[in-house]
Amino acid sequence: MNRLLLLCLLCAAPSLCTATRPADTLRTAARYLIDDDYLADPAARVIDGRLWVYTSHDRVSEVTDRTDGNHYDMRDYCVVSLDPNDPHGAVERHDAILTLDRVPWASRQLWACDAVRRGNTVCLCFCARDREGMFRIGIARSDRPEGPFTADPEPIPGTYSIDPALFEEEGACYLYFGGLQGGQLQRYRDNRPLDEDRFPAPGEAALPARVARLSDDLRSLAEEPRPVAILDERGEPLRADDSHRFFEAAWIHKRGDTYYFSYSTGGSHLICYATGDNPYGPFTYRGVVLTPVVGWTTHHSIVEYGGRWWLFHHDSTPSGGISSLRSAKVCELEYAPDGTIRTIPGGRP
């Protein structure tokens, strides 16, 4: 049996004020979820009163071609769980909840995933390349959060690109997705495929993530995907050469009446966020959640449990900096009284 770490989430100070503490300290130290394997792209969800963290599963691959992220050659998903009422409790791991050979339409690369309970069914939303090499988004189903999951025979019609994230409100479920370069978002305009990559020029508006409401059973889109606009302080879209523009790893959470849209910036290696007043946006850029980590990619989720907010993310420190061997970790996320998020140091020297 794999040796598991305790998720040592230290007790918090009673005040939310961050002004009196140094900028490079955390109220709760970051901790890796496990120490004997490589779990990446953590999507944290509270399901049935327990915290579940769904992850992709990095491995040492025979693929050496790094073009468009081909060396991120994941073949299965995992989930770890812990009791939200006992933040000092042990982590429980569940392996191979869905494997590549059990997805009829997929050819390779099980990248990031997310999950949600819909009635009696827990739905795992994931992305993979289809038989033509294009990324699609699919659903797998189980009657338990820990799986195993059975994939639908086809991907969700009309979906494309990578990094699905789900958001539920008032019975509706919204799908956010998209990623540039290896994630193929630049191969689409107005939800239609192009014959070749088309990146915006410097100074032009950046390519945005997409959002669409799903059908109740999550088998189809209830509407055409819309762009998720991120605006600057003047109300203009962030530009393609802005180091804070969207690249991949969309996530959304709601605190009070505010919707927080967070994402990875790719080459500048940041997790940034923007805020809005509805799930579709537009969102106004606010700042940096996480500075660069060790490794190229940065991918995260944000969840509330135990009366506090937590940032799950990954880095490549345990593998000695190998970008395709990443380890999921968690630390507390803090808000200032005005609702802004306190920047967390990622640890890159």
- How far is Cα 326 from Cα 188, in angstroms, rounded to an integer? 29
Contact indicator for 106, 126 with CB cutoff of 8 Å: no
Helix-strand-coil percent breakdown of the chain, rounded to 5? Answer: 5, 45, 55
- How far is Cα 105 from Cα 157, in angstroms, rounded to an integer? 12
- How far is Cα 80 from Cα 115, in angstroms, rounded to an integer? 13
Sheet of strand 209-213: strand arrangement: 165-169, 172-177, 209-213, 226-228
Q: Which amino acid belongs to residue 199?
A: F
Q: Which residues are catalytic?
A: 41, 248
- How far is Cα 227 from Cα 261, in angstroms, rounded to an integer? 13
What is the per-residue DSSP string for 217-281? TSSSBSS--EEE-EE-TTSPBPBTT-TTS--EEEEEEEETTEEEEEEE-GGG--EEEEEESSTT-
C-alpha separations of 84 from 51, 88, 164, 251 in Å: 6, 9, 24, 21
Tally: H helices and E strands in the chain:
0, 24
Contact indicator for 160, 179 with CB cutoff of 8 Å: no
Contact indicator for 146, 97 with CB cutoff of 8 Å: yes
- The two three-digit tokens of residue 53, written as one number: 């963290």
- HSE toward the beta carbon, residue 106, CA cutoff 13 A: 29
- How far is Cα 60 from Cα 72, in angstroms, rounded to an integer? 9
